[in-house]
Structure 1
Amino acid sequence: MADLINVAILGASGYTGSELVRLLLRHPRVKIAALTADRKAGQAMADVFPQFAGVELPRLITIAEIDLDAIDLVFCALPHGTTQGVIAGLFEKKQTLKVVDLSADFRLADPADYETWYGHPHQALELQKEAAFGVTELNRDAIAGARLIANPGCHSTTSILPIVPLLREKLIDPDNIVVVSATGMSGAGRAAKEEMLFSEVSEGVHAYGVGKHRHTSELDQEFDKASGRLSRATFTPLLIPMNRGIYATVTVTLAAGATAEKLHETLTETYAGEPFIAVLPFGKVPQSRHVRGSNFVQLGVVADRGPDRAIVISTLDNLVKGASGQAVQNMNVVCGFPETEGLESRAVFP
């Protein structure tokens, strides 16, 4: 692909859309050529997100108004259920287009699983067959050759990164994985909801989607693949009163002969040289504030008091590595750019 590409962001008026704009503005090989919104079409981006005041950006338009001839790659930050038809329509108009989809519409390889978890049949079966699941560090080769990349969910990315390598090496029991994953408020999106008012969520924590959260399907898919058999993790998401971040505490049962130290050694070896993943010294616990606003992930392994268990902790920013940052990372891979370009900024602290 060319040294400079033109990109379009569909759904630029949401949190992940605005985060894409923030990241791509400092990318040396990208020009933001089109931004779309539905209800806010016709407005300036700075009217929707005042942090972009003084920045020269295209006005928000509808998807139908995009000149695809001038676009090399599309980021799709639309709600699930609507994206399949939109992306199918884009490829009908331009076969050579590259698409990074941030919705859930192409994450599940089995259409029956999609229908089970999302309540309706998949509307783009042929495209589903070619979609590459976008956990960059674990699926880089497939991403590099794809024209459609399905960015994974934020909760699922947080747990897949530490657990898949351990399942591949048969160090943990696939039947005994318990994930408790706490997320900040931005994970619920920008639309006004009564249950997301400050007075409804501040000074407290609560579980949601217990036993049925849709990101569980991505854990099932990737854990099954890694273990070579059926694996059913217990997944409980928590909503906590902070803007950004995910913090997953994963309790695992060790396979025969495995130790917590061996888990730590495996993760350290797996991610050695990976620019965005830091495995902390054994026994050290990550903190979400140390990855806030960045594309970085911190992993930690701690021995549980039971000799057959260990606790694996993973944290990342849900809007960056959990969504828009990983989407830019995948764009870099599929376009042959240096993988870290546009993503080098460290965490905002304090």
Structure 2
Amino acid sequence: MRLAARHPNIKITALIAKGHAGQMLAQVFPHLSSLDVPSLVTSDEVDWDEVDVAFCGLPHGTAHAEIAKLPSRVKVIDMSADFRLRDLGTYAEWYGGDHGAPELLEGAVYGLTELYRDQIASARLVACPGCYPTAVLLALLPLVKDELILPEDIIIDAKSGVSGAGRSLKQNILFSEAGEGLSPYGIGSHRHVPEIEQELGEAAGQPVIVNFTPHLVPMTRGELCTSYVRLTGKTTVADLRAALTSGYADSPFVRVVEEGVIPATQHVRGSNYCHIGVFADRIPGRGIVVSAIDNLVKGSAGQALQNFNLMHGLDETTALEQLPLFP
């Protein structure tokens, strides 16, 4: 909503909530109190004739049932995981139940903007990627596609701020629990892994299994992923940099930083940018690729708005031009 409020082609006509239904927006999000928007209502109270696009931020496992109820003319930009995975069996394995709207899955487009621009432009339902897959895939997809790294030997060390866990009350994100400490979680079993493997496998033309470990960092927002890769043949780190630079030449929000510059979360905070750096490892034949995003912008809402722009024939940077906030 913060981003959409400055979009010249968006008018917020309905705000749907469950527990907060009946309240004013300012009661839930005081920082948005200056906006002239409707009060929060349930989905049954919405006049869908007044809605062209629905941005869906429901929890995993519940979004598909609600989206299935929407009129077919309403475009949907979903930020849950319900339409990200193409295989129904994989979805059931990682999200603990059968998919509630398999008939919609076939037409859903994975919303990694830089990879699926053309498909997103003509889609009715776009499934925005998770924040970790966004940072990881932007860093690795061109390298896998160009066969510059071995897809079977990828190790990903990922770190995210606590806002990635949402706003609900959870013990591990209480200030006294998360502050002044660093902890891994979802070791070997994080739900974003199948997204990463799905897209890397598509690029590689073969099944891919990655080593992925996320960590909770005591900061509000930001995400940094360090990927350790093995180079193929006579490939050099310079080749990796060249492939990334060429692959994102027409992508306004992906920036391959200058040689020697180290990406950092504070360099992208509040923006829709992704910074990628490439480094040689001390181990011969290996490279290190570092990517940084704001998990709430490029990793979620910003990418959703970027996809909205594509779906409506607008410049994909519209309402996303703000520079990173520093310090």
TM-score of the two chains, using structure 1 as the length reference: 0.92
- Corresponding residue for 2:220? 243
SS, match of residue 23 in structure 2: coil
Q: CA deviation at 1:87?
A: 0.5
C-alpha deviations, 1:195-251, integer Å up to 9, x for none?
Answer: 211010111100000000000010110010010011111000000000001100000
Query: Pairwise mapping of residues 153-172 of structure 1 onto structure 2 (< 5 A)?
Result: 153-172=130-149
**For the Cα contact (< 8 Å) 1:284–1:302, is it kept in 2?**
no
In structure 1, the gaps of 5 or more residues are: 1-20
Q: Is residue 2:54 matched to residue 1:74?
A: yes
The one-letter code sitting in structure 2 at the alignment partner of 1:318 is N
TM-superposed deviation, 1:116: 1.0
Aligned match for 1:39, one of 19, 44, 50: 19
CA distance in 2 between partners of 1:56 and 1:249 (Å) = 42
Give the letter aligned to residue 165 of structure 2: A
| CA-to-aligned-CA distance 1:246-277 (integer Å, 9 cap, x gap) | 10000000011111110001000111131111
* Distance (Å, rounded) in 2 between the aligned partners of 1:344 and 1:249: 26
Partner of 1:61: 41
Counterpart residue identity of residue 179, structure 1:
I
C-alpha separation in 2, matches of 1:123 and 1:49: 31
Q: Any residues of structure 2 matched to 1:1-350 within 5 Å, and which?
A: 21-90=1-70, 94-350=71-327
Deviation, 1:55, is: 2.0
Percentage of identical aligned residues: 48
**TM-score w.r.t. structure 2 length?**
0.99
Distance 2:123 2:96 in 1: 27
Letter in structure 1 aligned against 2:206: R
How far apart in 2 are the matches of 1:185 and 1:175? 30
Q: What is the distance in 2 between the residues matched to 1:283 and 1:222?
A: 29
* Segments ≥4 residues shifted beyond 6 Å: none
Quote the offset at 1:282 in angstroms: 2.4
Across the two proteins, how many residue pairs are aligned to each other?
327
CA shift digits 1:52-81 (9 cap, x unpaired): 123211100001111110100000000010
Shift of 1:284: 2.1
**Cα deviations by residue, 1:79-107 (Å, 9 ceiling, x for unpaired):** 010011100111xxx22110000000000
Superposed CA deviations along residues 116-171 of structure 1, whole A, max 9, x for unmatched, are 11111111111000000000011101111110000000001000011011000000
SS state at 2:106 partner: helix
Q: Which amino acid aligns with 1:46?
A: A
Deviation of residue 337 (structure 1)? 1.1
Q: Secondary structure at the match of 1:25?
A: helix
Distance in 1 between residues matched to 2:65 and 2:16, nearest whole Å: 16
Which amino acid is 1:264 matched to? R
Cα pair 1:261 1:282 within 8 Å, conserved: no
Which AA in structure 1 matches 2:18? D
Q: Unpaired runs of 5+ in structure 2?
A: none
